[in-house]
Amino acid sequence: MSQTKQAFEKHVLCIGAGYVGGPTMAMIAAKCPTYKVTVVDINEARIAAWQTDELPIYEPGLLEVVQEARGRNLFFSTDVEAGIKEADIIFVSVNTPTKTFGRGAGKAADLQFWEKTARQIRECSTSSKIVVEKSTLPVRTAEAMARILNWGEKATDIHFEVLSNPEFLAEGTAIADLKMPDRVLIGGAETPRGAAAVQDLVDLYAHWVPRERILTTNVWSSELSKLAANAMLAQRISSVNALSALCEATEADIDEVGRAIGSDSRIGPKFLRASVGFGGSCFKKDILNLVYLCEHYGLKEVASYWEQVVKINRYQRGRFVDRMITCMFNTVVGKKVAVFGFAFKADTGDTRESPAIYVCRELVDERAAVTVTDPKALPNAKRDLADIADQITWESDPYKAAEGAHAIAILTEWKEYAELNYERIFEVMEKPAFVFDGRNILDAEKLHRIGFNVYPIGKAPKTHIGEESEI
């Protein structure tokens, strides 16, 4: 240890080698070659995978960044204790799922992994450290963490300074987001020690992030900003999805409406794509966390305002399935439905909170014969639907998935699904053939010409049903 201690300027540790910890540390190691970066996790299989070229998560460009630094100044290990002892800066990036039991069940964050980690840091440390909250946590958690860490006799000789440094990367674009973030946010205590710790973290990011993009705030602003950013992003999607229902009821087209409102520079064009609903590990969890926080402070109206964003998302998924059933003559019993895409968004294998989970479950409840295809997410999909796996067919080839299907449901905006040969697909499907485009990625006009009945989100359908030459 003493040898490496001298060789590197600083020792950085990350506890939790998941979707956030893994890519973020790989980027820090790549950009800060004089820092030793170690990523630890209790999950042995995950750590073993990080040591190979079959990384445990799929993220475009990640392998190249890992390969650049791995073995040089980036290391993966299951030895949490040794990692803690050696570290100057510890990032905590363990999972904080929504509580499923007791007080706050379904809303509050489950902090058991996080608290275990805090206690472990305290027990194993033999020197002062900066501890950085990287997981999304309820506001004021940093304060609780500082109390656990600095409690008791150890606090007299060693000190832990807790910072909040939320991660804003989005999956699928993690590497680009990490390379050139819109901003890096660092929250610290407004004390001399706090300011010094903040400066250490600013110095780390300043290796590659322009200084004006590194924002420093107090700890609570930083913690709340993470929840607020995700809540506002999700709110945009729920707003556009709510409007998509109105578009379907009228003759408006949600893409045209989106373009029109997005041209207002105050609104901006991004994040206005109507869809079957948002998914991912953060949006729902963070909003419910915000709702819980508001309720805790007696702010009922504020809580119900944000809760509505999650309700509309649930409504949108349900509406999608209802529309499928209604359009397919009010029954899908025994009908084969090919689900194209299971990941919660394109370019990731992650399926956490994916709308596909809910849509598939509802279709199976309606006794449809569901076949799922996805280029990256089938292993996770099989785990998510393990309890009904015997009622689902898994198929990596979309052309095969479509054979004999009555309908295709596009649930993830994978680019390859827009580029398939739909003449070929139409040939092998049952007629009338339906396409429910939950991501508006297909050329509805072209598919309609081929013979499909096409139902995009928030637009008038293009159908042949009822025409004389019915297919």
Active site residues: 282
Does residue 413 bind ligand ADP (CB under 6 A)? no
Tokens read off for 181: 């973030």
Q: Based on CB atoms, which residue is closest to ligand ADP, 116 or 424? A: 116
Q: Based on CB atoms, which residue is closest to ligand UDX, 79 or 416? A: 416
Name the binder of 18 from ligand ADP, ligand UDX, none, CB < 5-8 A by kind: ligand ADP
* Separation of alpha carbons 167 and 105, rounded Å: 25
Q: Based on CB atoms, which residue is closest to ligand UDX, 41 or 171? A: 171
Does residue 281 bind ligand ADP (CB under 6 A)? yes
Stretch that binds ligand UDX, among 54-62, 278-286, 319-327, 456-464 (CB under 6 A): 278-286
Q: Based on CB atoms, which residue is closest to ligand UDX, 24 or 73? A: 24
Q: Based on CB atoms, which residue is closest to ligand UDX, 155 or 232? A: 232
Exposed, middle or buried: residue 156 (CB in 10 Å: 0-12, 13-18, 19+)? Answer: exposed
Q: How far is the CB of 23 from ligand UDX (least distance, A)?
A: 11
Name the binder of 80 from ligand UDX, ligand ADP, none, CB < 5-8 A by kind: ligand ADP
Q: Are strands 160-164 and 129-133 parallel, antiparallel or unpaired?
A: parallel
End-to-end CA distance of the chain: 73
User: Per-residue string for binding with ligand UDX, 155-194, x by CB under 6 A?
Assistant: ------------xxxxx-----------------------
Q: Based on CB atoms, which residue is closest to ligand UDX, 168 or 399? A: 168
Stretch that binds ligand ADP, among 12-20, 69-77, 326-334, 419-427 (CB under 6 A): 12-20
- How many residues contact ligand ADP, by CB under 6 A? 21
Q: How far is the CB of 88 from ligand UDX (least distance, A)?
A: 25
Tokens read off for 391: 């009622």
Tokens read off for 426: 């139409």
Q: How far is the CB of 241 from ligand UDX (least distance, A)?
A: 7
214 neighbors 184 (Cβ within 8 angstroms): yes
SS3 of residue 463 by DSSP: coil
User: Per-residue string for binding with ligand ADP, 30-49, x by CB under 6 A?
Assistant: ----------xxxx--x---
Q: How far is the CB of 11 from ligand UDX (least distance, A)?
A: 26
DSSP 220-273: HHHHHHHHHHHHHHHHHHHHHHHHHHHHHHSS--HHHHHHHHHTSTTT-STT--
User: Per-residue string for binding with ligand UDX, 227-246, x by CB under 6 A?
Assistant: ---x--x---x---------
Could you give the angle at the alpha carbon of 270 between the alpha carbons of 269 and 274, nearest 5°? 95
Tokens read off for 148: 């656990």
Does residue 317 bind ligand UDX (CB under 6 A)? no
User: For residue 432, is the peptide bond before it cis, meaning its omega torsion is within 30 degrees of 0?
Assistant: yes
Rg (CA), the chain: 24
In the region spanning residues 133 to 152, those forming contacts with ligand ADP, defined by CB under 6 A, are 135
Stretch that binds ligand ADP, among 16-24, 185-193, 371-379, 461-469 (CB under 6 A): 16-24
* Separation of alpha carbons 106 and 398, rounded Å: 36
Residue nearest ligand UDX by beta-carbon distance: 280
**Max Cα–Cα distance, the chain, nearest Å:** 86
* Separation of alpha carbons 28 and 22, rounded Å: 10
Q: How far is the CB of 145 from ligand UDX (least distance, A)?
A: 20
In the region spanning residues 94 to 123, those forming contacts with ligand ADP, defined by CB under 6 A, are 94-95, 113, 116-117
Quote helix, strand, coil % in the chain, to nearest 5: 45, 15, 40
Contacts by 105-111, CB closer than 8 A, 24 or more apart: 106/288, 107/288, 107/289, 107/291, 107/292, 107/295, 108/138, 108/288, 108/289, 108/292, 109/136, 109/137, 109/138, 109/285, 109/289, 111/137, 111/138, 111/141
Stretch that binds ligand UDX, among 193-201, 280-288, 328-336, 422-430 (CB under 6 A): 280-288
Residues found near ligand ADP in the complex (CB under 6 A) = 15-21, 40-43, 46, 80, 93-95, 113, 116-117, 135, 281
Residues found near ligand UDX in the complex (CB under 6 A) = 167-171, 230, 233, 237, 271-273, 275, 278-280, 282-283, 344-345
